């Protein structure tokens, strides 16, 4: 953490500037290990093109540009506490526009996974974990179960009208589908998640 | 031409009409589909954000199964397409390939060097054939807004067959069908699909903007290729109308349904009666 904001000439905020000697390679590497080699965080030149096109920029506490800067500088607490992680819709606008190949959406995806592993808890982390857990269980997602596990009885009741309409149209089965060997599938993914 | 067809979770449930219309339209155009045997969920936009390796393995499993059938993989759902294509690309990277191979081998599935391509139905229809010679019933007078959303054409190094920011494939397909295409500026703005449940309010706001624009352009329907976008735009449309005290009753059609109508196929065979927001106004306008 850099502490309070220091200003230099022309009102530029020093703690929002990219500064080579503030780069923290440990954090950058950690995100790259999670997100694969395609993530090129160090190449970011803070142009802000990612933020300019972002779907949910108006609602975010840290813009995608700032998030990448915080990762570069290893300001881990700010990154992990940011609501922006859960407002990102993974729409890839930022990644499509980035002139430096940083892939901000993949950076955010990797940070989300690290945040979940570090025990960050909110509606989004809970939903995402249940989603993955249910796919692991049968190989095919069963939506009524997702709604029930996430939102409980009240969510089921709230969605009952739509559910009945869908069932009448033959678009919602009361029985879940599954792959041929869900047990082996599930065990393999469980092992991968722990390694 | 023959493909291994990957329907994914949605096309067997909430997007049944996308499954039905893909199958009959492809048959009509002489493209053979062989369903991918024992396919599993691709993990969507969520899984890799819980664990990168788990997400990649979920998607790569289907690519490996298509390799076994030795056929290019064809997905209708934008999400299934995007995640499968992403996995196929990851397999070109040695480190990723090693990790994925290890997980899949625990599932008893092997990855071969067979180089299969991952395609989306829009890509095939727009780029592999000329639709105009198949048109039996031009959709004259129908105004459509083509909505691409995010995963169909982005990012360019995974999709790459149309512009990631302002694509035209579906617009041209709709024009080939004889429909009039409106200039839908929000065509690649995200509907908020992946945060629909966990941040419903935000997703509704994003979706409302899309419905507002399509309505103001006088579109008779929105045409798309993603079941998650359809969940927001169609299944949640009544809730959005109620919440914001607005009225749309705007039909949401899959691109294959639109093409099927132009090919002269019966609406029932395409699944047009399976919608939650009635498609009757579209059929009435076409005199079907």
In this predicted structure, the answer to whether residue A5 has a pLDDT above a threshold of 60 is no
Cα–Cα distance for residue pair B200/B205, rounded to 1 Å: 9
**Domain co-membership, B187 together with B242:** yes
Q: Which of B108, B154, B202 sits opposite A87 (nearest CB)?
A: B202
ipTM exceeding 0.90, yes/no = yes
**Domain co-membership, A91 together with A24:** yes
Residue B42 included in any domain: yes
Is A193 an 8 Å CB contact of chain B?
yes
Check residues A193 and A3 and name the one with the higher pLDDT.
Answer: A193
With bands split at pLDDT 50, 70 and 90, how would you rate the model's confidence at A33? Answer: confident
Mutate to test the interface with B, among A86, A104, A132, A149 (most CBs of B within 10 A): A132
Considering B121, B144, B160, which residue would you say is the last residue of a domain?
B121
**Domain co-membership, B273 together with B179:** yes
Min Cα–Cα distance to chain B from A114, Å: 8
Is B253 an 8 Å CB contact of chain A?
no
Angle at A79 (CA atoms; ends B192, B85), nearest 5 degrees: 45
**Domain co-membership, A157 together with A83:** no
Cα–Cα distance for residue pair B211/B232, rounded to 1 Å: 10
For A131-170, how does the pLDDT look when each residue is reduced to its tens digit (9 = 90+)? 999 999 999 999 999 999 999 999 888 888 999 999 999 9
Considering A57, A84, A118, which residue would you say is the last residue of a domain?
A118
Give whole-number Cα distances, A116 to A59, A120, A139, A186, B252, in Å: 21, 5, 22, 19, 36
For A60-110, how does the pLDDT look when each residue is reduced to its tens digit (9 = 90+)? 999 999 999 999 988 989 999 999 999 999 999 999 999 999 999 999 999
- Check residue B4 and give left, alpha or beta (phi > 0: left; psi -120 to 50: alpha): beta
CATH of the domain at B53: 1.20.1050.140
* Residue of B73, B187, B67, B177 lying closest to B130 (CA atoms): B177
Q: Find residues 36-75 of chain A whose CB sits inside 8 Å of chain B.
A: 36-38, 55-56, 59
Min Cα–Cα distance to chain A from B46, Å: 6
Min Cα–Cα distance to chain A from B92, Å: 12
Q: Find residues 22-41 of chain B whose CB sits inside 8 Å of chain A.
A: 38-41
**A185/B40 CB distance under 8 A:** yes
B222: enclosing H helix or E strand: strand B221-224
B200: enclosing H helix or E strand: helix B200-216
For the entire predicted model, the pTM comes to: 0.94
**Domain co-membership, B164 together with B27:** no
**Total of domains in chain B:** 2
**Domain co-membership, A22 together with A106:** yes
Residue A1 included in any domain: no
Cα–Cα distance for residue pair B210/B182, rounded to 1 Å: 13
Considering B98, B121, B144, which residue would you say is the last residue of a domain?
B121
**Domain co-membership, B109 together with B138:** no
Q: What percent of chain A has pLDDT over 90?
A: 67
Q: Find residues 3-32 of chain A whose CB sits inside 8 Å of chain B.
A: none
**Domain co-membership, A113 together with A61:** yes
**Domain co-membership, A111 together with A139:** no
B120: enclosing H helix or E strand: strand B118-120
Cα–Cα distance for residue pair A176/B121, rounded to 1 Å: 27
**Domain co-membership, A174 together with A187:** yes
Cα–Cα distance for residue pair B31/B124, rounded to 1 Å: 10
Residue B274 included in any domain: yes
Residue A189 included in any domain: yes
With bands split at pLDDT 50, 70 and 90, how would you rate the model's confidence at A22? Answer: confident
Residue A84 included in any domain: yes
B35: phi then psi, degrees, rounded to nearest 5? -60, 135
CATH of the domain at A36: 1.10.1060.10
Q: Which residue of B has its CA nearest to A178?
A: B40
Q: What percent of chain A has pLDDT over 70?
A: 89
Task: Classify B168 as helix, strand or coil.
Answer: coil
Considering B100, B121, B142, which residue would you say is the last residue of a domain?
B121
Check residue B202 and give its pLDDT.
96
**Total of domains in chain A:** 2
**A90/B150 CB distance under 8 A:** yes
Cα–Cα distance for residue pair A22/A15, rounded to 1 Å: 10
Cα–Cα distance for residue pair B209/B217, rounded to 1 Å: 12
B253: enclosing H helix or E strand: strand B252-254
With bands split at pLDDT 50, 70 and 90, how would you rate the model's confidence at A2? Answer: very low
**Domain co-membership, A95 together with A138:** no
Q: Find residues 107-166 of chain A whose CB sits inside 8 Å of chain B.
A: 108-110, 112-113, 116, 123-124, 126-129, 131-132, 135-136, 139-141, 143, 146-147, 150-151, 162, 165-166
Check residue B281 and give its pLDDT.
97
Min Cα–Cα distance to chain B from A9, Å: 37
Min Cα–Cα distance to chain B from A157, Å: 14
**Domain co-membership, B259 together with B148:** yes
Task: Classify B254 as helix, strand or coil.
Answer: strand
Q: Which residues of chain A does B189 touch, with a Cβ-Cβ cutoff of 8 Å?
A: 55
Which structural domain range is residue A30 located in?
17-118
pLDDT tens, residue order, chain B (288 aa): 999 999 999 999 999 999 999 999 999 999 999 999 999 999 999 999 999 999 999 999 999 999 999 999 999 999 999 999 999 999 999 999 999 999 999 999 999 988 899 999 999 999 999 999 999 999 999 999 999 999 999 999 999 999 999 999 999 999 999 999 999 999 999 999 999 999 999 999 999 999 999 999 999 999 999 999 999 999 999 999 999 999 999 999 999 999 999 999 999 999 999 999 999 999 999 999
Residue B280 included in any domain: yes
Is B160 an 8 Å CB contact of chain A?
no
Mutate to test the interface with B, among A53, A91, A141 (most CBs of B within 10 A): A91
Which structural domain range is residue B63 located in?
2-121
Residue A144 included in any domain: yes
Check residue A3 and give its pLDDT.
46
Check residue B247 and give its pLDDT.
98
What would the mean pLDDT of A21-26 be, rounded to a whole number? 78
With bands split at pLDDT 50, 70 and 90, how would you rate the model's confidence at A36? Answer: confident
Q: Which residues of chain A does B192 touch, with a Cβ-Cβ cutoff of 8 Å?
A: 55-56, 89
């Amino acid at each position: 953490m850099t502490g309070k904001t220091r200003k230099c000439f022309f009102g530029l905020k020093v703690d929002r500037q990219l500064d080579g000697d503030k780069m923290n390679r440990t954090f950058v590497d950690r995100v790259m290990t999670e997100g694969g080699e395609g993530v090129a965080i160090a190449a970011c030149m803070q142009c802000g093109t990612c933020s300019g096109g972002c779907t949910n920029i108006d609602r975010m506490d840290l813009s995608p540009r700032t998030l990448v800067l915080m990762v570069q500088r290893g300001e881990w607490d700010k990154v992990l506490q940011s609501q922006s992680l859960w407002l990102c819709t993974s729409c890839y606008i930022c990644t499509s526009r980035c002139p430096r190949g940083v892939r901000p959406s993949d950076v955010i995806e990797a940070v989300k996974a690290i945040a979940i592993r570090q025990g960050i808890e909110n509606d989004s982390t809970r939903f995402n974990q249940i989603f993955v857990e249910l796919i692991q269980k049968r190989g095919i997602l069963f939506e009524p179960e997702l709604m029930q596990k996430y939102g409980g009885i009240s969510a089921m009741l709230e969605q009952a009208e739509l559910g009945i309409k869908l069932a009448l149209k033959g678009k919602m089965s009361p029985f879940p589908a599954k792959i041929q060997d869900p047990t082996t599938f599930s065990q393999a993914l469980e092992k991968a998640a722990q390694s | 031409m023959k493909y291994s067809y990957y329907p994914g979770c949605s096309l067997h449930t909430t997007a049944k009409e996308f499954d039905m219309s893909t199958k009959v339209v492809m048959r009509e155009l002489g493209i053979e589909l062989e369903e991918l045997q024992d396919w599993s969920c691709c993990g969507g936009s969520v899984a890799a954000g819980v664990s990168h390796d788990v997400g990649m393995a979920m998607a790569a499993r289907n690519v490996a199964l298509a390799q076994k059938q030795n056929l290019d993989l064809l997905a209708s759902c934008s999400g299934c397409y995007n995640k499968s294509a992403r996995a196929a690309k990851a397999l070109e990277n040695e480190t990723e390939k090693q990790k994925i191979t290890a997980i899949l081998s625990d599932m008893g599935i092997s990855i071969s060097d067979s180089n299969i391509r991952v395609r989306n139905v829009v890509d095939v229809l727009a780029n592999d054939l000329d639709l105009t010679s198949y048109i039996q019933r031009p959709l004259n007078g129908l105004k459509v807004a083509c909505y691409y959303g995010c995963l169909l054409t982005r990012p360019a190094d995974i999709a790459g067959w149309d512009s990631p920011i302002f694509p035209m494939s579906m617009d041209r397909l709709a024009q080939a069908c004889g429909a009039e295409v409106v200039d839908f500026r929000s065509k690649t703005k995200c509907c908020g699909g992946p945060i629909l449940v966990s941040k419903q309010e935000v997703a509704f706001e994003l979706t409302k903007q899309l419905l507002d624009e399509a309505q103001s352009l006088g579109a008779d329907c929105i045409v798309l290729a993603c079941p998650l976008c359809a969940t927001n735009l169609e299944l949640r449309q009544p809730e959005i109308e109620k919440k914001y005290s607005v009225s749309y009753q705007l039909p949401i059609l899959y691109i294959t349904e639109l093409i099927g109508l132009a090919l002269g196929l019966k609406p029932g065979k395409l699944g047009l009666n399976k919608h939650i927001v009635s498609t009757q106004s579209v059929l009435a306008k076409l005199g079907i």
